[in-house]
Amino acid sequence: MKLKGILNSHISKVLADLGHTDYIVIADAGLPVPQGVLKIDLALRLGVPSFEEVVSVIKDDMRIEKVTLASEIKTHNLTTYQYMKKQFSCENIELVTHEKFKELTQHAKAIIRTGEATPYANCILQSGVIF
């Protein structure tokens, strides 16, 4: 059994398999998952686990070079937007329309679904390299 880090075997495998510029999505409970994209469903009930909890755990175990958010988050979910700005340097955050965001999810290695029930609590985390 693992001593520390992410215990979820599906998430651990996805992170271990990522190459430079590959990406995963951390999603609220309502984001559609495109056909053919792996969905890792962590949702237990509304709000559990939260988007912030999952982002925090993934951030500790993944080299992230870029974060993509839907631009609508700035006006419809300022709390989550401010959280993301605190977690990641502003120069590494890209904003796109929610429609563009959903298009990008089609190329994700996996979408990790949380129980989050607030608008636009979704992010794309692009893998960096560890060397």
Low-confidence ranges of the chain (pLDDT < 70): none
CB atoms within 10 A of CB 2: 8
% helix, strand, coil for the chain, step of 5: 35, 25, 45
Say whether 28 counts as a known binding-site residue.
yes
pLDDT at 45: 97
Q: Which domain holds residue 58?
A: 9-127
Q: Is 117 annotated as a binding residue?
A: no
Q: What pLDDT does 15 receive?
A: 97
Known catalytic residue: 20? yes
pLDDT number for residue 120: 98
User: Is the pTM here over 0.85, yes or no?
Assistant: yes
Out of 10, 20, 76, 107, the active site residue is 20
pLDDT in tens, 55-76: 999 999 999 999 999 999 999 9
Task: Confirm whether 36 is domain-assigned.
Answer: yes
Q: Is 122 annotated as a binding residue?
A: yes
- Domain containing residue 17: CATH number: 3.40.1650.10
**DSSP codes joined into one string, 1-40:** --SSS---HHHHHHHHH--TT-EEEEE-TT----TTS-EE
Backbone angles phi, psi at 124, to 5 degrees: -105, 125
Is 4 within the bounds of a domain? no
Confidence (pLDDT) at 13: 97
Do the domain assignments include residue 70?
yes
Res 91: pLDDT: 83
Q: How many domains does the chain have?
A: 1
